[in-house]
């Protein structure tokens, strides 16, 4: 279903591993957020996995990137384009 497709991090199901393709700001105001995501490890080629989503699939998303774990806002997760492994 997801093989060879690029989706954003918010769209992948729990436990599915993916590889960061790019950080794609949705508008010019998100450039700083892009830099912050890159600074904490969301870089092209880095492996990611969604560990937990908020109640009813809304709210913060718990994500493992490399060996670190972060909680991202939905808007931040939508910026992270990934390729399903």
Report the pLDDT value the prediction gives residue 4, as an integer from 0 to 100.
Answer: 56
Assess contact for 68 and 53: CB atoms under 8 A. Answer: no
**Residue 74, in any domain of the structure:** yes
**Residue 1, in any domain of the structure:** no
**Residue 13, in any domain of the structure:** yes
**Residue 55, in any domain of the structure:** yes
Structural domain boundaries enclosing 16: 6-84
**Residue 60, in any domain of the structure:** yes
pLDDT for 4-60, tens place per residue?
589 999 999 999 999 999 999 877 778 889 999 999 999 999 999 999 998 876 789
Instruction: Please report, for the domain that includes residue 66, its CATH number.
Output: 2.30.30.90
Quote the number of domains for the chain: 1
Residue with token string 């060879």: 4
Report the pLDDT value the prediction gives residue 19, as an integer from 0 to 100.
Answer: 96
**Residue 80, in any domain of the structure:** yes
Reported as a pLDDT band with limits 50, 70 and 90, residue 1 is very low
């Amino acid at each position: 279903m997801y093989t060879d497709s690029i989706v954003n991090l918010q769209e992948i199901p729990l436990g599915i591993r993916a590889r960061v393709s790019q950080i794609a700001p949705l508008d010019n105001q998100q450039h700083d957020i892009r830099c912050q995501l890159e600074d904490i490890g969301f870089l092209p080629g880095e492996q990611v996995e969604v560990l937990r989503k908020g109640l009813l699939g809304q709210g913060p998303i718990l994500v493992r990137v490399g060996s670190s774990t972060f909680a991202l806002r939905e808007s931040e997760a939508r910026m992270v384009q990934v390729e399903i492994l």
